[in-house]
Every structure is written in C-alpha cells, then in structure tokens.
C-alpha cells in the first residue's frame, strides 16, 4: 500500500479523517475498495487494533452494500443531477441510524451537473457531525474548484497489469491476462471484460467483424439479442481494437468515430439492437471490412 493510503487509514482509525476526500487517478475499482475499507475502519465494532474485522455487523453490512449510514451515489445515466443530490442531502442530515460515522461515496463525481455540484457544496460547507464524504473521479480537474479547494486530495497511481491481476485473487490468470490485453491497458474496462466472460465477448466481437467484412445481414442478426451493458462493453472493445489498428495504419479513423457515436447513442438509452444495426450499415456503406 502506498504511504498516502496508509496515512489515510491511520487517520480513520484515530477518528481524525478529513470530512471531504477527493480520490482521483488510478482505477475506479481501486478507489471504491479504499472507500469501503475506510467506511469499515470508521464503523467496525472491534477494538482499534482489530479494525476492520470484516466479520462484525457493521463490516458485513458495508460489504454487502446494506449499511443505512453508508450512502453511495453514481450517475443514473450520464450525469449526477440535482434531484439525486437533493435526495441524498436529506439522508445526510438525518441522524445516524446505527453507525458511528455516516460515509457517502460519490462515484464519477466529475459527472455532477453544475446545479448538483452547487447543492453538494452547501452540504460540504455545513457538514453534519461524524460525516465523511468521498468523491471519486478519474480526473480532479473535472471537479468544481470551490469543492476541490475544500477537499483533501488523494491520488491513486495507475496499477500495473501485474498488480491488477494479483488484485483479482484466485482466478483463471490466462483469461484475466486476455481481458487486460483486450482492454488496451484500461483497468476499469479489463475488470468489466473479465466479469462478463472473455470467451463470450470474443465470440461476439469476432462475429460482428465477420458480418461487417462480408456485409452479411444474416450473420449480423445472429448477434442479438444483447442488452445495453453488453453492447456498450462490446463497442468499447471494438474501439480499442480499431484504435490499435489505426496506429498500425491498417484502419481509417472513420470506423473509430462511428463506434464512438454508437456508444454515445447507447448511453442515451437508444435500443441496443438498433444502434448496432445502424453502426453495421454505416460500416457496410464505407466498403465493408472494419479494417484491412
């Protein structure tokens, strides 16, 4: 563990953690893990030397996402809006249910809308007692300066492939390594690919590429049904492949832009089948073959 995280844990154990933390850099998964660990350190019922025990009522409830004093927020669609912050604000000002500390984790905090960020700022300026708010973001630059200036910044270094693999625990290392390669070194994406299942994903992506290469609608139709999350994941992997092929000079930027546009549409809740079909027909028109 790096020194900064060790100091953070020590502060949590000694009940002198800053009331606003801003996690930035590294992987969202790692940020989340550290946030949960801090929540357990603050709320675990064991004596200081045994915290977090991982076994008491508080530790269990935090791990399973059911602790009433642990509030987690993330974008419902692409942003965290004012309604989400106002609903959260009400819960923050309620008295503590059972925990010693109320811990709020706001994931993808760089996706707060401006009104939402201003509402959050009000809470930060007058925080209820024994409250810790943890903002998680890839990039601290995306946070409103008036919020950032009040936070203790905690930087998460980028993990190496080896550290990522070790963090997964006892899993099929070959499959995990393939997931990492398919992600182009993006650990969040690698984790999603691995969670989804590498063979299933590879099969779909290869079939899609064949359907486009051969301009074959029948092959395209065999790719459905898929749900939105699958479609976003598959398109992300396609985008990584195409990007690598553009670097090698075997692919044109058009394909990459078309995939990016399709991903945006999916995030706007457009039907996944429609998005994939439109993408394929655009690629058909560009002369088939996704890349040479």
- State the residues that interact with Zn ion by CB under 5 A: 44, 53, 56, 59
With vertex at residue 235, the alpha carbon angle to CA 108 and CA 164, rounded to the nearest 5 degrees, is 55
CB of 46 to Zn ion, least distance (A): 5
Q: How far is the CB of 67 from Zn ion (least distance, A)?
A: 11
Size of the chain in residues = 292
- Dihedral angle of Cα 283, 284, 290, 292, to the nearest 10 degrees: -130
Name the 3-class secondary structure at 169. Answer: coil
Give the residue with the Cβ less far from Zn ion, 22 or 41: 41
Distance CA 136, CA 27 (A): 10
* Nearest approach, Cβ of residue 51 and Zn ion (Å): 6
Nearer to Zn ion among residue 26 and residue 52 (C-beta) = 52
In the complex, the smallest distance separating the C-beta of residue 16 from Zn ion, rounded to whole angstroms, is 20
* Strands (E) located in 100-207: 102-106, 131-137, 152-156
Nearer to Zn ion by Cβ, of 48 and 171: the residue is 48
Q: Are 226 and 234 in contact (CB under 8 A)?
A: yes
Burial class (CB in 10 A: 0-12, 13-18, 19+), 221: exposed
Q: Is the dihedral of CA 204, 267, 136, 185 positive or negative?
A: positive
Q: How far is the CB of 37 from Zn ion (least distance, A)?
A: 11
Shortest Å, Cβ 56 to Zn ion: 3
């Amino acid at each position: 563990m790096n020194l900064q995280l060790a100091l953070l844990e020590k502060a949590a154990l000694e009940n002198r953690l800053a009331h606003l933390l801003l996690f930035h850099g590294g992987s969202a998964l790692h940020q989340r893990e550290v946030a949960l660990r801090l929540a357990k350190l603050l709320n675990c019922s064991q004596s200081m030397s045994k915290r977090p025990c991982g076994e008491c009522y508080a530790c269990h409830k935090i791990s399973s996402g059911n602790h009433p004093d642990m509030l987690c927020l993330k974008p419902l669609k692409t942003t965290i809006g004012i309604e989400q912050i106002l609903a959260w604000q009400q819960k923050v000002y309620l008295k503590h249910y059972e925990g010693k500390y109320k811990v709020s984790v706001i994931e993808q905090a760089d996706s707060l809308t401006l009104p939402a960020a201003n509402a959050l700022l009000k809470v930060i300026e007058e925080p209820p007692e024994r409250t810790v708010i943890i903002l998680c973001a890839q990039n601290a630059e995306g946070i409103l300066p008036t919020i950032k200036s009040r936070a203790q910044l905690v930087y998460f270094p980028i993990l190496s492939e080896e550290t990522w693999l070790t963090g997964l625990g006892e899993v099929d290392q070959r499959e995990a390594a393939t997931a990492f390669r398919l992600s182009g070194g993006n650990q969040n994406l690698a984790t999603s690919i691995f969670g989804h299942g590498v063979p299933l994903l590879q099969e779909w992506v290869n079939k899609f590429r064949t359907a486009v290469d051969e301009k074959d609608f029948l092959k395209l139709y065999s790719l459905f049904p898929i749900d939105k999350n699958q479609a976003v994941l598959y398109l992300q992997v396609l985008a990584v492949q195409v990007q690598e092929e553009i670097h090698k000079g075997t692919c044109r930027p058009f394909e990459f832009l078309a995939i990016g546009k399709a991903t945006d549409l999916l995030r706007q809740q457009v039907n996944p089948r429609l998005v994939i079909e439109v993408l394929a027909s655009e690629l058909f028109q560009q002369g088939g073959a996704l890349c040479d």
